[in-house]
Amino acid sequence: MNVHDHIIVPTLDPAAVEADPDQAVEDYAASLLTLPMDRSRPLWEFHFLDFPTSEASSTVVIRVHHSLGDGVSLITLLLASSRSAADPTRLPAMPKQPARAGAIYEPPAPPPSAGARALLAWAWSYFLLAWNTAVDVAFFAATIMFLRDPDTLFRGKDDGTVHRSRRFVHRSLSLDDIKFIKNAMNCTVNDVLVGVTSAALSRYYFRNSGDTNAAKICLRSLLPVNIRPPVGLQTYVNMIESGKSSKVVWGNQLGYIFLPVHLAMQCDPLAYVHKAKKTMDRKKSSLEVLCTYKTAEFFLKKFGLKAGALILGGM
């Protein structure tokens, strides 16, 4: 393997870089989507953009084929291969592993000394789990066969035209601000991010469509969920240093959930977060992600990649 085949330093338009370096990075990353990868060599590339932006002194765009591993594993492996700029002997700072050991949908069993009300609530949580799973699986099957979201700015009409135009865009947010809202509202970071996304889509929709009634508009996003157990950064470091990968689980283990996004103009911005928390709590009490994972795995094994792509394309 020739490493120079995978290290790319592109030559960009100096005028475009000087005018708006952030936009130049975004345009270059978007252009990579239109270029096929060279299958005669390992499918990974590092693109170095050596000019300052508003957020960094330089930028590296990493392009890796999904067949080499899932995004979480690849990012963690990359971090395990790097070191802190302030202290070359130290690994990059990483968040702590979640304290939760069981599945997110598995309610903790009450202690033996708990009263009848606690035991009843525990049993009721499993009834809700079964009910929510049945409803979600039914909607999943209906979506594959006939159920569609309404025609909006975000989804064109079903006229047989396939729109494949895609683009990477990004917006940096303060994690401290997100955590402040999370702590104040007793929710999770994901709840806040879903609420922010809902607010952004709502404002974009009303600003560009002129519609004033969104009572019946509910979009659904298809979100991939990693169902593999989390692996710590140190595990990857040990793998690199020892040359053994027996403890590292590679490959994709992704299930999917349909996350509804309600378009509405709220006077209180925190109302979006309240709605997102309610939706996410409902999704956490469901086995939808496991059912969709098993369904996708079955279709891929029995009917091949084209059948799996057809199913995802119809959602």
Catalytic residue positions, numbered: 66
Q: What are the tokens at 97?
A: 């592993």
d(CA 202, CA 261): 9
Closest CA to 110 of 119, 102, 101: 119
Closest CA to 226 of 299, 290, 130, 300: 290
d(CA 154, CA 231): 36
Tracing tokens 């996003």 back to the chain, one arrives at 221
Contacts of 234 (CB under 8 A, 6+ apart): 91
d(CA 283, CA 101): 19
Q: 84 burial class (0-12, 13-18, 19+ CB within 10 angstroms)?
A: exposed
Tracing tokens 């009843």 back to the chain, one arrives at 120
d(CA 136, CA 138): 5
Amino acid letter at 160?
G
Strand partners, 155: 152
